[in-house]
Chain A
Amino acid sequence: MSNAAGSLVLDGADQKEGQEHNNQIDFKMVTFSLSGKDYGIDIMKIKEIAKFSSFTYVPNSAPYVRGVYNLRGDIISILDLRILFHLPVDKKAENEETQNGLILSLDENVIGVVVDSIDKVIGFSSAGIQPPHPIFGDINIKYISGVVENEGRLYIILNAERICAKDDSVRKAADSALPAAADTAAAAVSAETYQEPQSYGNSLAAEPERDFIRETLKTFKGFSITPVNEEWFTGRFAEWKEKKKQQGADLQLKSADDADEYLASYYSADTGRFWEDDTAARYTRALAAQSGKIIQAWSIGSGKGFEAYSFAAILARKYPGVMLKVWAHDNDLLAISTAPNLVFNDDELPEFLGPYIVMGKNGSSFQTEFKNKIFFEYHDALHPNSLPELDFIMARDVLPFFSQEDQARLFAEFHEKLKPTGLLFLGDNEKPLDSSRWAPVSGARAVYKKS
């Protein structure tokens, strides 16, 4: 056994090493599309996201200069990246009144660029950026600072300085040919003819931040925000934003530790350890009287077994004399392997576990008779299982570790396996995906039955 256990630990270490590369998110960019391809610009260079409505045409300028624009009193020039890069311009979009754009803030000047559509903000480790490859023939390589892959999409990172440097030199050339063309044009148009850009201002600027946190939670912890926990996420985001504002710290999550801190308030009472007596009492109250001779329960994501033992103990107390079977599943082989032979120190053990514990030489453990009621299995919840019809399903704080699609499959599985009188226990901040098929049990938090 020692052999196998030893190499299990080694495997774990190998995995960690592999993951170290994406541990630090230190580069963020706003992504957008130009004729169907994905591009990004460093978020530090971006002043704001805007919609442009009418430009003032500047005669004799380069074709990719769309004109000048009044940005709340500052006259900025607007470039069309699609023309600059010789990409096709969607005619339909061209005729629309407003166009998507980014306002770039560079060392000395502020400049606007028109793009097809703004996508989102993504973050990743700058170690993942690869040098540009000459094969990206659409765009002159000197405008590209690198290429990065994120969630299966390839983004070309544009070098904002170079794009605008070109504009500068061209503009200077144009200026010398037609003295102060831009200035004259700008001055010629009275302030009333300009329309303010519909700046996204604060309300929309907050959205990419929110989406970004959503994505970092996924990257660092594999934690999905779906309708199961959207409500908690909305509340937590407001709280987090306020807290970081007071601390004067950056809103975003830069490491797995930040993500843990963000998620600290998510987890249900006594997750990952034995339940306290009041948690046990709370769940016991939700249990209704049962007439059956057998009680069968399923605990998903039992980890080292604390959850499964606690749950089995309240069931055994509530339904004495009934044959109890608890299937405790986890897909973490190392954690679940320790569960059947869990040994612990009983200094502060909750009272309700008392009757099932025996003292041993190395610490306390559970009575064999009690342990025999629980089947610890190495199992992936998405794979087929041979479980019978169940009275209870305990799935606290595990659903976020599945994608929304997989969550839907799991809820369908729960619905199929649960008896008509059965109960589904979710985490304190979770609710079922399909609320029409589940009804909350009155007087209990996050406990549901089939509707």
Chain B
Amino acid sequence: MRVEYINPFVEASYNILKEVLNSEVVRGELYLKSSSTPVLGVAALVGLAGDVEGRVLFDMTKDTAIGIASIMNGEKLTVLDELGKATITELANLITAQAVTKLHDLGFKFDLTPPALFTGENMEISNSQVEALIVPMKLSCGKIEINVAIRERA
């Protein structure tokens, strides 16, 4: 993945998470992965198109998702209901949109697709044809792994 793409995603994730959760966020070490990755339980996916093709996946456990949704809505949620799901979807949208805006300022043209949310047990995401950058974020209510896979259009 081009190094110019990395920072916008890292910064956008950090800024948005810190802002919406209103608490400290710690970024873990970035790494690359090309094998299939288990999904923790809740995954929000945003597709990218334009100069490039790819996707951004926000992966977290159900408990973390409920925790985030509770903080963002200012009320204690106990299950991941429609409101909770909409909140996580919106979070994915916020982060990706800010990253794409930053990339636009650097001269790269990206479009994004509306986010989709997946929930379930024992899910796996396959990265077999493209290498993914993993940005782990530690939050007060758990961790989110941001999985960015982008390649130039041939």
Contact = CB atoms under 8 A, between A and B. Distances in A.
Contact of B131 (A333, A336, A339, A385): A385
A378 B7 contact: no
A333 B6 contact: yes
Contacts of A337: 3, 6-7
B10 interface: yes
B11 A4 contact: yes
Interface in B20-34: 27, 29-30, 32-34
Given A1-B7, A337-B3, A376-B2, A7 B133 contact: no
Give the one of A333, A339, A378 with max B CB within 10 A.
A378
Interface string A322-364: 0000000001010011011000000000000000000000000
Contacts of A388: 154
B42 to A, nearest CB: 25
A380 B34 contact: yes
A178 to B, nearest CB: 68
Given A3-B14, A383-B32, A375 B7 contact: no
B94 interface: no
B17 to A, nearest CB: 13
Contacts of A8: 30
B154 to A, nearest CB: 6
A385 B34 CA distance: 10
A333 B129 CA distance: 21
B130 interface: yes
Nearest to B53: A386
A331 B133 CA distance: 11
B143 interface: no
A3 B3 contact: no
Contacts of A384: 34, 128-131
B139 to A, nearest CB: 15
Contact of A3 (B6, B11, B133, B151): B11
A42 interface: no
Interface string B114-140: 000000000000001111010000000
A11 interface: yes
Interface in A379-402: 379-380, 382-386, 388
Interface size class on chain B is 20 to 34
A388 B151 CA distance: 12
Given A4-B11, A383-B34, A377 B154 contact: no
A357 B34 CA distance: 37
B152 A333 contact: no
B32 A331 contact: yes
Interface residues of A, number: 24
A386 B130 contact: yes
B150 to A, nearest CB: 10
Nearest to A337: B3
A154 B116 CA distance: 49
A378 to B, nearest CB: 5
B120 to A, nearest CB: 27
Given A378-B3, A378-B133, A385-B131, A4 B10 contact: yes
A4 B26 CA distance: 11
Contacts of B30: 8, 333
A11 B7 CA distance: 15
A434 B3 CA distance: 33
Interface string A1-36: 101100110010000000000000000000000000
Interface in A400-442: none
Contacts of B3: 333, 336-337, 339-340, 376-378
B4 interface: yes
A383 B33 CA distance: 8
A250 to B, nearest CB: 37
Contacts of A333: 3, 6, 30
A383 B154 CA distance: 18
Contacts of B33: 383
B1 interface: yes
Contacts of B4: 340, 376
B32 A380 contact: yes
A333 B4 CA distance: 11
Interface string B57-99: 0000000000000000000000000000000000000000000
A68 B15 CA distance: 77
A66 B120 CA distance: 67
Nearest to A305: B3
A386 B131 CA distance: 9
B1 A377 contact: yes
Contacts of A386: 130, 151-152, 154
Nearest to B102: A1
6 contacts: A4-B14, A331-B32, A378-B6, A379-B32, A380-B34, A380-B131
Q: Which 3 A-B pairs have the closest CB atoms?
A: A383-B34, A383-B131, A386-B151
Interface of B: 1-4, 6-7, 10-11, 14, 27, 29-30, 32-34, 128-131, 133, 151-152, 154
Given A331-B32, A383-B33, 17 more contacts: A1-B7, A1-B11, A3-B11, A4-B7, A4-B14, A4-B27, A337-B7, A339-B3, A340-B3, A375-B2, A378-B32, A379-B1, A380-B34, A380-B131, A382-B34, A384-B129, A388-B154
Interface of A: 1, 3-4, 7-8, 11, 331, 333, 336-337, 339-340, 375-380, 382-386, 388
